[in-house]
Amino acid sequence: MVWTLKVDLFQGDTGQWGDAGPRGEPGLRGKPGGRGTVGLKGSGGPTGQVGQPGPAGFAGLTGEPGLHGQVFVLPGQQGDSGSQGPPVACSCSRTPLQMDTVQTIGQIFIADNEKEMRRLRAENVMVLRTDRKTLYIYAESQWVNILEVPQHQPNSEER
């Protein structure tokens, strides 16, 4: 049998399309695509449970020293009194407070500190200092502690 192929160079008009045929079987699955763009961040979830405490950290720098604490000094037994020294003539440059000055005290004040005592400078004024528990008289332009034994200072001639 011999087949002959006849080719027409001139074709006619296309006719009407017919009804669609039945759908075919699904094909093989294709290769997966690449990663898509990053989406928006969602809201935070609830707080989790508290974990175990970690190890202690290193010690910090040493701080400034603090104020001194209270010191309690307990007095001991009083010792024996010493022997009396030899009598010596006083050659002081400072004359002791005259008794007539003590008898002519015009006013007596109580002061808590040296600042208050300085404001009370007037001749023949007696001041009791509560912070030092001492008694002063302002005489001859100076404060004299009358409870203290006067300091003996030799004259410049005897040095």
Q: How far apart are CA 121 and CA 105, in angstroms?
A: 13
How much is the pLDDT for 72?
A: 75
For the ranges 20-29, 52-61, 94-103, 136-145, the lowest mean pLDDT is seen at 94-103
Confidence of residue 80 (pLDDT cuts 50, 70, 90): confident
Q: How far apart are CA 155 and CA 153, in angstroms?
A: 7
pLDDT at 82 over 60: yes
Q: How far apart are CA 127 and CA 118, in angstroms?
A: 10
Which amino acid, one-letter code, is at 96?
P
How much is the pLDDT for 99?
A: 53
How much is the pLDDT for 43?
A: 92
pLDDT at 79 over 70: yes
Neighbours of 138 (CB within 10 A): 20
- DSSP assignment of 68-102: ---------------PPPPP----BSSPPPPHHHH
For residue 103, the 8-state DSSP code is: H
Percent above pLDDT 70 for the chain? 77
Q: Please give the model's pTM, rounded to 2 decimal places.
A: 0.33
Confidence of residue 153 (pLDDT cuts 50, 70, 90): low
For the ranges 8-17, 20-29, 121-130, the lowest mean pLDDT is seen at 8-17
How much is the pLDDT for 159?
A: 43
Q: Higher-confidence residue: 151 or 55?
A: 55
Q: Tens digit of pLDDT for each residue in 19-71? A: 888 998 998 999 999 999 999 999 999 999 999 999 999 999 998 988 888 77
Domains of the chain: 99-145 (3.40.1620)
